[in-house]
Amino acid sequence: MHVLLLADTHVPKRARDLPAPVWTAVDAADVVIHAGDWVDVALLDALQARAASLLGVYGNNDGPALRARLPEVAQAELGGVRVSVVHETGPAAGREQRCAAQHPGRDLLVFGHSHIPWDTVAPGGLRLLNPGSPTDRRRQPYCTYMTATLAAGAITAVELHRIPRQ
């Protein structure tokens, strides 16, 4: 199962639309996961229309219209991998231990908020992934997103993709 990981898109505040490579990745993915800070329901509608399957949560910059349609925490089993999605996980210090305690029995936690790509494993095996932001790099050298391959209950590949500067 091919999964696209997105967060912190902030459309249309940080960009008018998702970059073309992200839309190409949407078309190629079996599942799109969005870890919040959409900003406008138009992007949610566009992703729901185009993605084969969509799993998303709201973030701190998402207003009532998005919060009415999305949960704060989402869970699913994808390719036998038990996945949770949240927007915020708190400070980087102690993140792995805190998230392992907050999401017991999960194999993968996808999160956003910081716009900083993150890939670590907590004690007990919980993998934490933050794809960064495809539209607002903040202090990062590039805007980013991630893809992952899930199969037979395992995360078999994770790739961080840089979006070329325009």
92-142 pLDDT, tens digit each: 999 999 999 999 999 999 999 999 999 999 999 999 999 999 999 988 999
Question: Is pTM, for the whole model, over 0.95?
Answer: yes
Beta strands in the chain (DSSP E): 2-6, 31-34, 54-56, 74-78, 81-85, 108-110, 118-121, 127-130, 143-151, 154-163
Answer whether 71's CB lies under 8 Å from 79's CB: no
Are the C-beta atoms of residues 131 and 7 closer than 8 Å to each other? Answer: yes
| pLDDT tens digits for range 64-74 | 999 999 999 99
pLDDT above 70 as % of the chain: 99
CATH topology for 2-163 is Purple Acid Phosphatase; chain A, domain 2 (3.60.21)
